[in-house]
Amino acid sequence: MAMKDLKIVGQPVKLRDLDTHVTGETVFYEDVRVPRMLHLKMHRSRYPHARILGIDTSQALSSPGVVTVLTHEDLPGKKLYNALAGAGVGPEDEPVLAFDKVRWKGESVAAVIAETPEQANAAVAKIKVEYEELPAVFDVEEAIKDGAPNLTAHWPNNHYVYPDDHRAAQIRYGDVEKAFAEADHIVEDSYQTQPIEQAPMETNGCIAVPEGDGRITVYSNTQALQFSLDVTAGILDMPTSKLRFVGGTVGGGFGGKVDIQPEPITTLAALRTGRPVKFKYTREEEMQVSSSRSAWRVYVKDGVMNDGRIIARKVTTYQDSGAYLRFSSYACMKHCGHMPGPYTIPNVSVDSIVVFTNRTPSNAMRGFGVMAGSFALEVQMDKIAETIGMDPWELRLINAYREGDMKAHRKEVEDAGMVESILAAAEMAGKQLPENFRNMSSLDRKAG
């Protein structure tokens, strides 16, 4: 193969599945056609926080077309799960169907399986759940205060605790307090992001089909096929060899289809009825109960010299995990490791805390953990530039990391290209930088 064939950057690359997408030949899970298929609809909590005192499904069971109704009592295996439990990240804290409390508005309580989606929806409305409404908390800092409503015994203070007993993912590099005392300027501010729904064209869903050999085949649009299979097997107390998960095309995911919510309950429904079962989120469910990108609150304090050098950065962040852990601890570690951004700062302190609130559980979305940090830090850089009267392009070039610099998490910078990226962006934007800045290089801090 010639070297020219290996050059991709700057060249148009055709998506391998583009033709079948355009012609309509791409196969999605909903293209599976099986006879006698049933439909699952979910009864969901109307409260963000409440104790469940009783669940009456009798009227739903006698509703036309209903084959069965499932509650937590029908789960043969684990009532709680966590997708990362197999990797040693726990504990398992999220129910498939709520049994003691509901912790967010829209949480799954009971599943109706009927001949048609319309019959299932009609029966869902007939389920009666007796609740004792409890105080709810929606703000990350309010949630960890003494006396705040407690969501679960897993997290007595409504925040995640890492295996080393730390309440936060942390970085300690240099001495920030000493550097703050020596700085010419202190610039500090707070930043808040909101939950973001991925809004895929194809909503979450799956079809579970009982096979003649005693196995269940699940056709799913999950982004986490092996996670989904393993978690489903644990919940249903069955060997993984009895499950066959078929993935493939995902009609838009962006991280939002690693929830692992449709597959376990749909598989259980297929086992109980002996018939294929389909569970598909409505667009309303996708927007309201599918996990979103986390909301973050970020506090940044910087010590800056008159020449633009940032000599200290202290960051404290709170990630709103919603009611359950899911992948939040992983996102928080990525968030922490991203600090202090693509800049070489000799003194850094970071605390990133996962907080539980009575909001919809959050999960992955395109660089989750990193994007909120980047947003906060880049707005902060502009505020620094304004405070000290420096051009924001020049400020970034002065502080951009170079080849061989040591990052705050003690990983040496390799293949640095920050300086060149800024210079290329400046040229494309028509930004005129002084010659000494145009001559800067990621390979040599002294250049320019």
Share of the chain above pLDDT 70, in %: 98
Cis omega before residue 195 (within 30°)? Answer: no
| Interior/surface letters 125-144, b for 16+ CB within 10 angstroms, e for the rest | ebbebebeebebbeebeebb
Residue 317: pLDDT over 80: yes
Strand partners, 206: 220, 279
Extended strands (E) in 153-269: 169-173, 185-192, 205-210, 216-220, 243-246
What confidence tens digit (pLDDT) does each residue in 383-430 have?
999 999 999 999 999 999 999 999 999 999 999 999 999 999 999 999
| Band of residue 436 on the pLDDT scale cut at 50, 70, 90 | very high
Residue 3: pLDDT over 60: no
What confidence tens digit (pLDDT) does each residue in 7-47 have?
777 788 888 889 999 999 999 999 999 999 999 999 999 99
At position 164, the amino acid (one-letter code) is D
Closest CA to 441 of 427, 426, 425, 421: 421
Closest CA to 443 of 399, 405, 384, 402: 402
d(CA 33, CA 47): 37
Share of the chain above pLDDT 90, in %: 88
What confidence tens digit (pLDDT) does each residue in 344-395 have?
999 999 999 999 999 999 999 999 999 999 999 999 999 999 999 999 999 9
111 contacts 40 by C-beta, under 8 angstroms: yes
Query: Who contacts 116 (Cβ-Cβ below 8 Å, separation ≥6)?
Result: 39, 65
Phi-psi region of 319 (alpha: psi -120 to 50; beta: other; left: phi over 0): beta
Give the single-character DSSP code of 238. -
* Residue found by looking up tokens 């104790």 in the block: 51
| Band of residue 275 on the pLDDT scale cut at 50, 70, 90 | very high
327 contacts 258 by C-beta, under 8 angstroms: yes
Mean pLDDT of all residues in 423-447:
94
What confidence tens digit (pLDDT) does each residue in 166-182 have?
899 999 999 999 999 99
Confidence (pLDDT) at 445: 83
d(CA 326, CA 359): 13
d(CA 448, CA 38): 69
Structure-token pair, residue 375? 């947003």
Domains of the chain by start residue, with CATH: 34-134+204-279 (3.90.1170.50), 169-195+291-386 (3.30.365.10)
Confidence (pLDDT) at 2: 53
294 contacts 331 by C-beta, under 8 angstroms: yes
Confidence (pLDDT) at 17: 87
The better pLDDT of the pair 150, 446 is held by 150
Give the single-character DSSP code of 406. B
Strand partners, 327: none
What is the four-CA torsion angle of 181, 187, 192, 196, rounded to 10 degrees? Answer: -110
For residue 290, the SS3 value is coil
Residue 92: pLDDT over 90: yes
Mean pLDDT of the chain: 95
pTM value > 0.75: yes
What confidence tens digit (pLDDT) does each residue in 125-173 have?
999 999 999 999 999 999 999 999 999 999 989 999 988 888 999 999 9
Confidence (pLDDT) at 1: 47
